[in-house]
Protein backbone atom coordinates (compact mmCIF):
# COMPACT_ATOMS: atom_id res chain seq x y z
CA UNK A 1 0.00 0.00 0.00
CA UNK A 2 1.36 3.43 -0.93
CA UNK A 3 1.94 6.16 1.62
CA UNK A 4 -0.80 8.33 0.08
CA UNK A 5 -3.34 5.53 0.49
CA UNK A 6 -2.28 4.99 4.09
CA UNK A 7 -2.55 8.70 4.84
CA UNK A 8 -6.06 8.75 3.33
CA UNK A 9 -7.13 5.78 5.45
CA UNK A 10 -5.61 7.28 8.61
CA UNK A 11 -7.43 10.56 7.96
CA UNK A 12 -10.74 8.74 7.34
CA UNK A 13 -10.33 6.69 10.54
CA UNK A 14 -9.55 9.86 12.48
CA UNK A 15 -12.73 11.48 11.15
CA UNK A 16 -14.77 8.42 12.17
CA UNK A 17 -13.29 8.47 15.68
CA UNK A 18 -14.19 12.15 15.97
CA UNK A 19 -17.69 11.62 14.52
CA UNK A 20 -18.75 8.85 16.93
CA UNK A 21 -18.53 9.41 20.70
CA UNK A 22 -18.14 5.69 21.54
CA UNK A 23 -16.24 2.83 19.95
CA UNK A 24 -15.31 -0.75 20.73
CA UNK A 25 -12.21 -2.65 19.64
CA UNK A 26 -13.30 -6.19 18.89
CA UNK A 27 -11.25 -9.31 18.15
CA UNK A 28 -12.55 -10.90 14.96
CA UNK A 29 -9.60 -13.25 14.42
CA UNK A 30 -10.69 -16.42 12.68
CA UNK A 31 -14.15 -15.26 11.61
CA UNK A 32 -14.99 -16.52 8.16
CA UNK A 33 -16.74 -14.39 5.53
CA UNK A 34 -20.21 -15.65 6.45
CA UNK A 35 -19.76 -14.95 10.17
CA UNK A 36 -18.34 -11.51 9.44
CA UNK A 37 -21.24 -10.74 7.14
CA UNK A 38 -23.75 -11.82 9.81
CA UNK A 39 -21.98 -9.63 12.37
CA UNK A 40 -22.13 -6.66 10.00
CA UNK A 41 -25.89 -7.21 9.50
CA UNK A 42 -26.46 -7.27 13.27
CA UNK A 43 -24.39 -4.12 13.64
CA UNK A 44 -26.38 -2.39 10.91
CA UNK A 45 -29.67 -3.32 12.61
CA UNK A 46 -28.45 -1.75 15.88
CA UNK A 47 -27.05 1.36 14.16
CA UNK A 48 -23.44 0.37 14.82
CA UNK A 49 -20.84 0.96 12.13
CA UNK A 50 -18.27 -1.84 11.94
CA UNK A 51 -14.93 -1.37 10.20
CA UNK A 52 -12.14 -3.96 10.05
CA UNK A 53 -8.84 -2.09 10.14
CA UNK A 54 -5.10 -2.56 10.16
CA UNK A 55 -3.86 -2.04 13.69
CA UNK A 56 -0.97 0.22 12.69
CA UNK A 57 -3.27 2.53 10.73
CA UNK A 58 -5.76 2.71 13.60
CA UNK A 59 -2.88 3.37 16.02
CA UNK A 60 -1.70 6.29 13.88
CA UNK A 61 -5.25 7.66 13.61
CA UNK A 62 -5.55 7.51 17.41
CA UNK A 63 -2.19 9.26 17.83
CA UNK A 64 -3.31 12.03 15.46
CA UNK A 65 -6.52 12.55 17.44
CA UNK A 66 -7.00 15.34 19.95
CA UNK A 67 -7.91 12.75 22.61
CA UNK A 68 -5.32 10.56 24.30
CA UNK A 69 -6.18 6.97 23.36
CA UNK A 70 -2.89 5.53 24.69
CA UNK A 71 -4.62 3.08 27.11
CA UNK A 72 -6.05 1.32 24.04
CA UNK A 73 -2.76 0.85 22.17
CA UNK A 74 -1.94 -2.51 23.80
CA UNK A 75 -5.29 -3.88 22.58
CA UNK A 76 -4.32 -3.42 18.94
CA UNK A 77 -3.14 -6.88 17.94
CA UNK A 78 -4.52 -9.62 15.73
CA UNK A 79 -7.49 -8.91 13.50
CA UNK A 80 -9.33 -5.90 14.87
CA UNK A 81 -12.74 -4.52 14.06
CA UNK A 82 -13.84 -1.12 15.29
CA UNK A 83 -17.50 -0.78 16.23
CA UNK A 84 -18.46 2.89 16.10
CA UNK A 85 -21.70 4.02 17.69
CA UNK A 86 -23.68 6.91 19.15
CA UNK A 87 -25.15 4.66 21.85
CA UNK A 88 -22.55 3.46 24.36
CA UNK A 89 -24.28 0.18 25.20
CA UNK A 90 -25.42 -1.04 21.74
CA UNK A 91 -22.21 -2.90 20.78
CA UNK A 92 -21.96 -4.34 24.29
CA UNK A 93 -25.45 -5.81 24.06
CA UNK A 94 -24.66 -7.16 20.59
CA UNK A 95 -21.42 -8.83 21.77
CA UNK A 96 -23.21 -10.39 24.76
CA UNK A 97 -25.23 -12.46 22.28
CA UNK A 98 -22.05 -14.43 21.58
CA UNK A 99 -20.64 -16.95 24.06
CA UNK A 100 -17.51 -16.04 26.00
CA UNK A 101 -15.33 -18.49 24.08
CA UNK A 102 -16.74 -17.42 20.68
CA UNK A 103 -15.52 -14.70 18.39
CA UNK A 104 -16.11 -11.78 18.16
CA UNK A 105 -14.90 -10.80 21.60
CA UNK A 106 -14.28 -7.47 23.25
CA UNK A 107 -10.71 -6.27 23.57
CA UNK A 108 -11.28 -2.70 24.71
CA UNK A 109 -13.69 0.19 24.41
CA UNK A 110 -13.93 3.94 24.70
CA UNK A 111 -17.41 4.79 25.99
CA UNK A 112 -18.83 7.67 28.02
CA UNK A 113 -15.37 9.30 27.99
CA UNK A 114 -13.86 6.29 29.82
CA UNK A 115 -11.62 3.42 28.82
CA UNK A 116 -12.65 -0.20 29.30
CA UNK A 117 -9.85 -2.71 28.78
CA UNK A 118 -10.49 -6.44 28.58
CA UNK A 119 -13.34 -8.81 27.81
CA UNK A 120 -14.37 -8.83 31.48
CA UNK A 121 -15.75 -5.28 31.05
CA UNK A 122 -18.45 -6.43 28.61
CA UNK A 123 -21.20 -6.73 31.24
CA UNK A 124 -20.42 -3.25 32.50
CA UNK A 125 -20.52 -1.81 28.99
CA UNK A 126 -23.76 -3.58 28.08
CA UNK A 127 -25.46 -2.19 31.19
CA UNK A 128 -24.50 1.44 30.53
CA UNK A 129 -27.53 3.66 30.21
CA UNK A 130 -27.90 5.84 27.17
CA UNK A 131 -28.36 9.57 27.51
CA UNK A 132 -32.06 9.28 26.63
CA UNK A 133 -32.59 6.50 29.19
CA UNK A 134 -30.98 8.64 31.91
CA UNK A 135 -33.08 11.66 30.96
CA UNK A 136 -36.24 9.54 31.06
CA UNK A 137 -35.34 8.27 34.54
CA UNK A 138 -34.68 11.79 35.85
CA UNK A 139 -37.96 13.08 34.38
CA UNK A 140 -39.86 10.17 35.95
CA UNK A 141 -38.26 10.88 39.32
CA UNK A 142 -39.10 14.56 39.06
CA UNK A 143 -42.69 13.89 37.99
CA UNK A 144 -43.42 11.48 40.81
CA UNK A 145 -43.61 14.03 43.70
CA UNK A 146 -45.46 16.53 41.50
CA UNK A 147 -48.07 13.92 40.59
CA UNK A 148 -48.54 13.08 44.27
CA UNK A 149 -49.07 16.74 45.20
CA UNK A 150 -51.48 17.32 42.32
CA UNK A 151 -53.52 14.23 43.13
CA UNK A 152 -53.62 15.18 46.82
CA UNK A 153 -54.83 18.67 45.94
CA UNK A 154 -57.44 17.32 43.57
CA UNK A 155 -58.78 14.84 46.08
CA UNK A 156 -58.61 17.45 48.83
CA UNK A 157 -60.49 19.93 46.66
CA UNK A 158 -63.72 18.00 47.09
CA UNK A 159 -63.07 17.53 50.79
CA UNK A 160 -62.31 21.20 51.41
CA UNK A 161 -65.35 22.34 49.45
CA UNK A 162 -67.52 19.90 51.38
CA UNK A 163 -66.18 21.13 54.73
CA UNK A 164 -66.64 24.79 53.75
CA UNK A 165 -70.16 24.16 52.50
CA UNK A 166 -71.04 22.29 55.68
CA UNK A 167 -69.64 25.10 57.79
CA UNK A 168 -71.40 27.69 55.67
CA UNK A 169 -74.77 25.88 55.88
CA UNK A 170 -74.53 25.46 59.62
CA UNK A 171 -76.83 27.81 61.52
CA UNK A 172 -75.06 30.38 63.62
CA UNK A 173 -75.56 30.27 67.33
Q: Using CA atoms, how far apart are residues 74 and 62, in angstroms rounded to an integer?
A: 12
CB 25 within 8 A of CB 121: no
Looking at the structure of the chain, the number of domains it has is: 2
pLDDT tens sequence across 107-166: 888 888 888 888 888 888 887 777 777 788 888 878 777 676 666 656 655 666 666 666
- Three-class SS state of 86: coil
pLDDT given at position 49: 92
Q: Using CA atoms, how far apart are residues 162 and 124, in angstroms rounded to an integer?
A: 56
pTM above 0.75, yes or no: no
Question: Bridge partners of 24?
Answer: 83, 109
DSSP class of 48: -
Q: Using CA atoms, how far apart are residues 10 and 18, in angstroms rounded to an integer?
A: 12
pLDDT tens sequence across 78-92: 888 899 998 888 888
Domain containing 65 equals 3-128
Q: Domain check: are 44 and 120 in the same one?
A: yes
Q: Domain check: are 33 and 90 in the same one?
A: yes
Cα-based distances in Å from 85 to 17, 47, 119, 146 = 10, 7, 18, 36
Mean pLDDT of 46-73: 89
Q: Domain check: are 63 and 76 in the same one?
A: yes
Q: Domain check: are 48 and 116 in the same one?
A: yes
Q: Domain check: are 41 and 72 in the same one?
A: yes
pLDDT given at position 44: 92
- Three-class SS state of 137: helix
Q: Domain check: are 30 and 72 in the same one?
A: yes
pLDDT tens sequence across 95-106: 888 776 667 888
User: CA torsion angle for 90, 91, 92, 97 (degrees, to 10)?
Assistant: 100
Amino acid sequence: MKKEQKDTIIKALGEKLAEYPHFYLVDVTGLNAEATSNLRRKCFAKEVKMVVVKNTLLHRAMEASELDYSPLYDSLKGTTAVMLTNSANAPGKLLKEYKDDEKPSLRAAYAEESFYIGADKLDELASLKTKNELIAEVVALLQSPVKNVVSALQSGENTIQGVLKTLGDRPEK
